[in-house]
Structure 1
Amino acid sequence: MIPFNQEEENARKPLFGLPRFIVGRMHIELPSDVKTIISRIEAAGFEAYAVGGCVRDSLLGREPNDWDITTSAKPTEIKKLFKRTVDTGIRHGTVTVLMQGNTYEVTTYRVDGIYEDARHPSSVSFTDVLTEDLRRRDFTINALAYNETKGLVDEFDGIGDLERKVIRAVGDPSDRFSEDALRMMRAVRFAAQLGYTIEDKTAAAIRVHAANLSKVSAERIMTELTKLITSDHPEMLRDAYELGLTARFFPEFDRCMNTPQNIIHHCYNVGEHILHTMMASRPDRVIRFSLMLHDIAKPNVLTVDEDGIIHNKGHAAVGADMARDILHRLKSDNDLINIVTKLITYHDWRIQDNKKSVRKAASTLGHELFPLLLEVQRADVAGQSDYMREEKYEKLDNITRLYEEILKDNEAISVKDLAVSGKDLIEAGMEEGSRIGDTLKLMLEHVLEVPGDNTKEKLLTFVRSGSW
């Protein structure tokens, strides 16, 4: 038997449909600014490459969000070569170059010192060797460099991992995660965004080092969590749970993953139901966070009746309070907190499919949030069992149609939709003060019941008659 040689096999194996000897000459179309920066640095006698995610995304046919450049030139030399620069991280070798209204981070090849806090190196030293710089990076698919002179530089088989669709740490994964614990969340996030799996040794190291995630700031975790759940694969939050990560920043979800739902309307435990609702929704931040948290209180309010049926009465109200606490803990912005908690409060509202009920529900939520509530409810149904699913969808379709009719007919659902304003009431003889607001609220309650009465003449007639 001929012994298996992995290096020879890799050399023969085509990548992206190309033999490996061609891979180094693969062409990436660099933006003109990036070409200018690299060529100017090279003309001064230094090396420079586009590096990291921009190279990865270009190879995958994705539009890079930004372009980072790595170079053998020191920060002081970069500042001499470009007129407009900002010292964004000069101690770590990073200078931001401003060009044509855009910004580009240019970082000197470096070797990181000891990471004492699982977040930052205690020191950095510059090097002239590109490979040493690539060696410190998190994952092989991010340790790729490219310029038009040398082509693609792939020292750690990042191209192979792109083809195999795996997330693999550069070198020893334990070293990478000891250096920066956030990399564990980034592994799951990249897997979710790209639809990849996490390589076995990398996953095993995450399990070992998961506790170190507690050393990472809530803001950094929130950034990764947002990217994860708004990706095409939000269900990979399950991987974060299985790898022991959610226990460090979202233990409420762990409880959901261990809470059954013994009821005909459900076929998953609470956690799996949450994952399936996110999978059924569009990748919107508000929608996905609302779904991630909509049933978060079910383990807390769970009761079992004498027939063994599980109930979660009051989970919406309790869940809204829990969601507020969780999002505060993760340092979320107040806008997201306020919208998500309101959607959770009303996510279980059984709106009837008639115009009066829809008007009242839309009035309670408002024009901006009511359509979002319907999206949340539709995704909620998608994560349930098949029992009465079509009937539930039909009802939501009817509610959506009725709401569209309400909008088309300009029926009032808020005070500002009324045909009468506070100014009209004052001109009609009503004294300024709280009575103005109270009267407008009474008018709205009336036209929600009788939309045809929303005319200036009718409403002022009611006022003059003393009805309000």
Structure 2
Amino acid sequence: MKRELPKDVHYILKKLHHHGHEAFIVGGCVRDLMLGKVPKDWDLTTSAEPSQVKALFSRTVDTGLEHGTVTILKNKIGYEITTYRVDGKYENHRRPKAVAFTKCLKEDLKRRDFTINAMAYNEESGFIDLFGGEEDLKRGIIRCVGDPDERFHEDALRMLRAIRFAARFGFEIESETGRAITLLSKLIEKISAERIKMELTQILCSKNPDYISKLVHYGLMPYVIPEFMSCVNLSQNHPYHIYEVDEHTYRALKEVKRTEALRWAIFLHDIGKGYSKTTDDEGVDHFYGHSKISVELSKTILSRLKFDNKTKNHILKLIAYHDYRFEPNAKSLRKAVAHMGVDMFIDYMAVQEADVRAQAPSKLQERLDDLEVKKQYFEALMASKHCLTIQDLNIRGKDLMDLGVEKGERIGILLKALLELVIEEPELNKKKLLLEKAEILIHKG
């Protein structure tokens, strides 16, 4: 079946073909075409060596000459093209020490990770599928090309990639591929934290975030996030819970929108329960202080995975707030929003709802009704433009200095005190009234 290619891709393939070289699109873009999707990136492979590619195209970048990769620039878009190659011995279970160029497309395709990523296409030859990738796409299977033990020994990150592709497409991992992951799971320790974090984030932010459970199933979790293992099969005998902690987490992940901070916050929000469980005389389980423990454990995990400080701190605050409760009334909501900030409060509400939706169905409507009331109060608060920050106050530090307060820390303390009064009573946010309140506070010392 012939597929229409972008004009620039068509041009590159034709030019290489015209000069006597084989050339195909390859890998993920071919897979996506077969799935009826529009590829985001177009990778190409060719029998031409890098020097020959560079001689044919005026604008190129040496992306990875040692591995045969050149980027061709066309209309401000880069197209990576790699010479057919055979990989040499792999170092540290991640990358080949050296590669050898070949004129055989099959040799190039057989070194790739999974059958669904080992297909090629051009308009003359059509689809080249030597390892059953099309059939695996139809069956919904992630299967290694050739011997899975060899593929994972070559590059241990492929074990996480298998789960990531399964999560992305809702596929299952073929039995021999899964067996090899379980057998070789410890090799994941050889992979850098940055690469592991990238794969985990893509799994969590996929349409099937609960596939993170496959790290437990295949034995990867003890080497990637060992702290999570205390949650596995941990029962919660409590009126608001019917699921074990890990199952509750997987279900909650599916109930929150696909952002990095929200998905990671949900994944880690109850990780402290494995270190805080107690059971009372009635046989009811409690997890006192688990939020604080979850924050401490998550701080270690996120730092180990090399998260940037801004994202890390946002996730940690969401975990800290996830069990925060306040009465469903306007005053309590103003205090909560002022304390967290508007953006954080919006994410907090998303975490709260996901958490509730993964709890006992018998308590669901009660808690959803509570959240709905809070959402309505929040919408009204946003529409009213009430004062929520010191910047919203109708008084400035200079006004306090005019009352005789010296410039310095005392100004900030007074403004914070005035903000608390305004959050209690929004109608106080008038300059005259605030000056009167400020004088009272100043005289109180």
Structure 1 length as normaliser, TM-score?
0.92
The alignment status of 1:211 with 2:175, answered yes or no, reads: no
After superposition, give the CA deviation of every residue in 1:280-330 in whole Å (9 maximum; x if it has no partner): 111111110000000011001111222322111011111111111101111
**Could you say which residue in structure 2 is the equivalent of 1:15?**
none
Structure 2 CA distance, aligned partners of 1:35 and 1:256? 52
**Gap regions ≥5 residues in structure 1:** 1-25
Identify the match of residue 376 of structure 1 among 348, 351, 358: 351
Task: Indicate how the Cα distance of structure 1 residues 50 and 262 shifts in structure 2: closer, same or farther if over 3 A, else same.
Answer: same
**Could you say which residue in structure 2 is the equivalent of 1:58?**
33
Alpha-carbon contact 2:23-2:44 (below 8 Å) kept: yes
Structure 1 CA distance, aligned partners of 2:396 and 2:160? 52
Alpha-carbon contact 2:227-2:297 (below 8 Å) kept: no
Task: Indicate how the Cα distance of structure 1 residues 61 and 426 shifts in structure 2: closer, same or farther if over 3 A, else same.
Answer: farther
Range with greater deviation from structure 2 (193-202 or 412-421): 412-421
After superposition, give the CA deviation of every residue in 1:342-367 in whole Å (9 maximum; x if it has no partner): 01111101121001111111111101
**Could you say which residue in structure 1 is the equivalent of 2:75?**
100
**Could you say which residue in structure 2 is the equivalent of 1:443?**
418
The alignment status of 1:220 with 2:195, answered yes or no, reads: yes
Structure 1 CA distance, aligned partners of 2:74 and 2:239? 61
After superposition, give the CA deviation of every residue in 1:13-65 in whole Å (9 maximum; x if it has no partner): xxxxxxxxxxxxx2222222211221221122111111101111122122322
The alignment status of 1:192 with 2:178, answered yes or no, reads: no
Q: Percent identity?
A: 45
Structure 2 CA distance, aligned partners of 1:272 and 1:36? 51
Structure 2 CA distance, aligned partners of 1:30 and 1:73? 21
Mapping 1:304-453, distance limit 5 Å: 304-427=279-402, 429-453=404-428
Corresponding pairs, count? 443
**Could you say which residue in structure 1 is the equivalent of 2:8?**
33
Give 3-state SS (helix, strand or coil) of 1:231's partner.
coil
Structure 2 CA distance, aligned partners of 1:204 and 1:97? 40
Shift of 1:429: 4.8
Range with greater deviation from structure 2 (288-297 or 114-123): 114-123
CA RMSD of aligned residues (A): 1.3
Structure 1 segments of 4+ aligned residues over 6 angstroms from their partners: none
Structure 2 length as normaliser, TM-score?
0.97
Give 3-state SS (helix, strand or coil) of 1:267's partner.
coil
Give 3-state SS (helix, strand or coil) of 1:368's partner.
helix
Alpha-carbon contact 1:28-1:59 (below 8 Å) kept: no
Structure 2 CA distance, aligned partners of 1:465 and 1:358? 27
Mapping 1:265-284, distance limit 5 Å: 265-284=240-259
Structure 2 CA distance, aligned partners of 1:428 and 1:466? 11
**Could you say which residue in structure 1 is the equivalent of 2:431?**
456
Range with greater deviation from structure 2 (269-278 or 31-40): 31-40
After superposition, give the CA deviation of every residue in 1:391-441 in whole Å (9 maximum; x if it has no partner): 100001111110111111111121122122224434555432112111110
Give 3-state SS (helix, strand or coil) of 1:30's partner.
coil
Structure 1 CA distance, aligned partners of 2:300 and 2:423? 34
Structure 1 CA distance, aligned partners of 2:45 and 2:401? 68
**Gap regions ≥5 residues in structure 2:** none
Alpha-carbon contact 1:69-1:105 (below 8 Å) kept: yes
Alpha-carbon contact 2:418-2:438 (below 8 Å) kept: no
**Could you say which residue in structure 2 is the equivalent of 1:301?**
276
Structure 1 CA distance, aligned partners of 2:164 and 2:192? 17
Give 3-state SS (helix, strand or coil) of 1:153's partner.
strand
Structure 2: which amino acid aligns with 1:31? P
Mapping 1:47-196, distance limit 5 Å: 47-196=22-171
